[in-house]
Amino acid sequence: MLQTLLLTTTLLLLTLTPTTAASTTKSKLDTRRYANICVQNGKAHRPIPEKDARAHAILKLVIEKSTLTSILSYDTPQHKAMCYMLNDDPKKADPRGMMGGVNGGNAGRFMDRYALVTFYMNTKGPGWQRSDHWLTGEDECLWYGVTCDTRVRKRITGIDLSFNKINGIIPRELAFVTELQALDLNGNSLQGVIPYLMLSNLKNLSKLHLHMNDLFGNIPKEIGQLKNLKELTLFGNFFFGKLPVEITNLKKLEVLDIYANNLTGTIPKEVGKMKNLREVYVNDNEFVGSIPNEVCKLKVSHLQADCLGAKPEVRCDCCTVCCKGLPTPTCQDVRPGANAAAAKKKKK
């Protein structure tokens, strides 16, 4: 039990570690020092030959992108993924450029594949409900749940692994799938925090669906760097603390769903600057105070908060649906004429 706890803690710390490769710099990295890096990985892997240019290119790139500490630790998903890419990947992916290997490729495509392998290693891939073609010689664009756009050199643009019995921690390496536009991991058993680097690196992300998992911690302020985000659904997790004001930097956001968490404080008035919002769900949290007038002026089509009853947790003059929690959780459409319309429909 103690070993499991220590390993989980180690993996979580690696998720949060900055992207520097310890004291190693790109210009001074001598990969020959790590020729035996996979020898003790449980398989009969040989030391990396000095003249194996592909292997040394992989080692150099992965050490620069992931931390040196995580690569040197035999039990980490980063180490396992790197050794897989070096020795066991039937595709023999090569990061050296379009002319670099038998199958071509470049650093971006290589990192896409490496990031997916790391995710698989860190979330008990063999236990997923579906993992068609994962960790085979097939192009990563053919792996279950993965979508690519051939217009950007077959880079990954979508990952949909929702309701797939995935259990584990989201590795920071997903940040290196830099052309990603849609990430849907909802309905699984993911734990830990959202990696900060993932939020600051994925500049093209328009949909982020992480709802119905076991994620916890504060919603990182780096969420505000996803300037192209249109849909953010985090409901049904264990996030706590205040809603970061940086979230109001998401000027393109249309759907904000943070229902059913443990968030506290008040709704920032700066949310009123998010002119494209059309759906907002903030109920079943620990929010207090009032929905700001600035938010009411947005006139969103659906605004749901804990505003039901004589003594509501949140006061709201513009909500379309008001809810209340235990002991009798319920929600009610409070739009003018909603009750009359419901009664008329029931009578029919």
> What's the pTM?
0.87
Q: Please tell me the predicted confidence (pLDDT) of residue 84.
A: 96
Task: Report the pLDDT averaged over residues 201-206.
Answer: 97
Query: With bands split at pLDDT 50, 70 and 90, how would you rate the model's confidence at 338?
Result: low
* E-only strand ranges, 221-296: 231-233, 238-242, 255-257, 262-265, 279-281, 286-287
Task: Report the pLDDT averaged over residues 324-328.
Answer: 82
Does pLDDT of 340 surpass 60?
Answer: no
Distance (Å, rounded) from C-alpha 158 to C-alpha 142?
Answer: 12
pLDDT tens digits for range 103-125: 435 899 999 999 999 999 999 99
Closest CA to 119 of 188, 198, 190, 174: 174
Measure Cα distances from 200 to 174, 224, 226 in Å: 11, 8, 7
Burial label for 158, CB within 10 Å (0-12, 13-18, 19+), is middle
Distance (Å, rounded) from C-alpha 225 to C-alpha 204?
Answer: 10
Distance (Å, rounded) from C-alpha 128 to C-alpha 120?
Answer: 9
Does pLDDT of 10 surpass 60?
Answer: no
Tokens linked to 127: 């236990």
Q: Please tell me the predicted confidence (pLDDT) of residue 328.
A: 83
Task: Report the pLDDT averaged over residues 95-103.
Answer: 56
Distance (Å, rounded) from C-alpha 59 to C-alpha 162?
Answer: 32
Distance (Å, rounded) from C-alpha 259 to C-alpha 329?
Answer: 13
Distance (Å, rounded) from C-alpha 67 to C-alpha 343?
Answer: 61
Task: Report the pLDDT averaged over residues 73-100.
Answer: 88
Select the more confidently predicted residue: 42 or 232: 232
Q: Please tell me the predicted confidence (pLDDT) of residue 339.
A: 56
Q: CA angle 113-96-169, nearest 5°?
A: 25
The answer to which of 40-44, 124-128, 293-297 has the lowest mean pLDDT is 40-44
Distance (Å, rounded) from C-alpha 346 to C-alpha 348?
Answer: 5
Does pLDDT of 21 surpass 50?
Answer: no
pLDDT tens digits for range 277-290: 999 999 999 999 99
